[in-house]
Amino acid sequence: MKKLTSRIDKERLLLGIAAPVLAVVAALVVTALVILATGKNPGAAFSDMTTYGFASDSQVYILNKATTYYLAGVAVAIGFRMNLFNIGVDGQYRLAAFVAAVLGGALAVPGWIAIPLVIIAAMVTGALWAAIAGVLKVTRGVSEVISTIMLNSIATAIIAYLLQPGKLARLEQGGTVVSTKPLPSSSYFFTIDAGPAGELWGFIVIAVLVGIAYWFVLGRTRFGFDLRTVGQSESAASASGVSVKKMIATSMVISGAVAGLIGMPTLLNDSHAFSNDFPTGIGFTGIAIALLGRNNPVGIALGALLWGFLERTTNHLEFQGYDKEILGVIQGVIVLCVVIAYEVVGRYGLKRQQQKVGAELAAQAAAATKKQEVA
């Protein structure tokens, strides 16, 4: 027992908690000021957010949203750990969801075969799309930031081209909604009935599994170690025998494969088809959430939940007469605060450490001179 407590460095623990607390408090203060500036009462807004956000139907909504966001956060975080900025998550998931929806609509096999096939198709599509950027980077040195942004636009164009009546889609009643052939009901992913609160998407289980796999592969395997090493110093990694190019290509592919999963909760649990109103922009939300969660599997989960909470409650704030732009302000402020808070706390911690080491060294030196005097 003593051994365990002695291993807890109180100061580091305190610093670890200080950063997120500082960030949230700062974000709250700034948001309150913004709401005050619009001539409304921030106290009422926050209390409305809490009561509404913790209602049971809100919680189901938040968990469903967080499922999608978590996958997006992990997809981005895999790249981040490698120092790769995969902005292409957005295009990867949309293309993946589209391909998966087309396949799912065409399959006439029992659900236990169809669902894994749909999911695998999505992961493969996402991986292949990301691989283009990975290959360009290792063979031609093209920055992945540029190539993935461009691939996003290309993905949008490809989907727009194929998602047309007569190609891979059909017109819905009324002639305004165009969508792929819906999945047969046997291919729906299971949901958990939460009574009047709605249905909790079963895909949350997959999201948790992805989180565990992310933690295990990065933290507990040689591959993960290599990946993090390359992320911290490419030259050091290659000096120790790690093939940097191979690692870049592989991590891009893995990031893309996870990105392929992002659209799956919506496709398999909610819309059951890819139509022209499929949600967009989740890849970019993923970047914010990965930053918020510091690339940590648990942190990303908290970030995703926070994001879902904010969206749910600020939607309702609009209903209560607040400006709908508040959501964007709060989200932006939180991400900024988190980044700044970690930097500030990190620097403070470093300074404290240096002082401590300095003090210890000084004490040692003093002790040594004293000893000499005695002798």
Partner 1 sequence: MRRVAKLSAACIATAALAVTATACGSTSSDNDTDSSSTGGKGGIKIGLAYDVGGRGDRSFNDSAARGADKAKSEFGGSIKELTAKSSDTPADREQRLSDLAQAGYSPIIAVGYTYAPAVAKVAKQFPKTSFGLIDAVVDGKNVDSITFTEEQGSYLAGVAAALKTKKDHVGFIGGVDSPLIKKFEAGYVQGVHDTNKKIKVDTQYLSHGSDTSGFASPDKGEQAAQGMLDNGADVIYSAAGSSGNGAIEAVNGVKGAWAIGVDSDQYEIPGLAKYKNSILTSMVKNVDVGVYDFVKSVKDGKPLAGTNTYSLEKDGVSLSTSGGFLDDIKAKLDAAKKKIVDGSVKVKTTP
Positions in the binding site for partner 1 (CB under 8 A): 7-9, 12-13, 16, 51-52, 54-59, 61-65, 68, 94, 156-157, 159-161, 163, 165, 171-178, 194, 196-197, 266, 270-271, 275-282, 285, 296, 298-299, 301-302, 305, 311-312, 315-316, 318-320, 324
179 bridge partner residues: 170, 275
66 vs 285: CA distance, rounded Å: 11
Nearer to partner 1, 110 or 165 (CB): 165
- Which residue, 81 or 137, has its beta carbon nearer to partner 1? 81
> Which of 129, 182, 120, 171 shows the shortest CA–CA distance to 151?
129
Cβ of residue 47: shortest distance to partner 1, in angstroms? 11
Which is closer to partner 1, CB of 141 or CB of 196? 196
Q: Which of 179, 183, 176 is nearest to 168 (CA)?
A: 179
Whole-number CA gyration radius for the chain: 24
H or E stretch covering 192: strand 191-193
Burial 308-336 (b: 16+ CB within 10 A, else e): bbbbbbbebbeeeebbeebbebbbebbbe
Of the pair 82, 163, the CB lying nearest partner 1 is at 163
Classified as helix, coil or strand, 295 is: coil
Residue placing its CB nearer to partner 1 in the complex, 64 or 86:
64
Closer to partner 1 at the Cβ: 256 or 263?
263
Pairing of strands 170-171, 199-201: unpaired
Of residues 223 and 284, the one with the C-beta less far from partner 1:
284
Q: How far is the CB of 276 from partner 1 (least distance, A)?
A: 5
Rounded distance between C-alpha atoms, residue 124 and residue 108, angstroms: 21
Distance of CA 296 to the CA centre of its chain: 10
Residue 13 Cβ vs partner 1, minimum distance, rounded to whole Å:
6
Residue 158: burial class (beta carbons within 10 Å; 0-12, 13-18, 19+): middle
Q: Which amino acid is at 370?
A: K
Calculate ∠ Cα 200-205-206, nearest 5°. 120
Structure tokens belonging to residue 227? 């990946």
End-to-end CA distance of the chain: 40
Between 62 and 341, name the residue whose CB sits nearer to partner 1: 62
**Residue among 92, 88, 81, 109 at smallest CA distance from 248:** 81
Shorter beta-carbon distance to partner 1: residue 51 or 355: 51
State both tokens at 224. 């993960």
Determine the 3-state secondary structure of 137 from DSSP.
Answer: helix
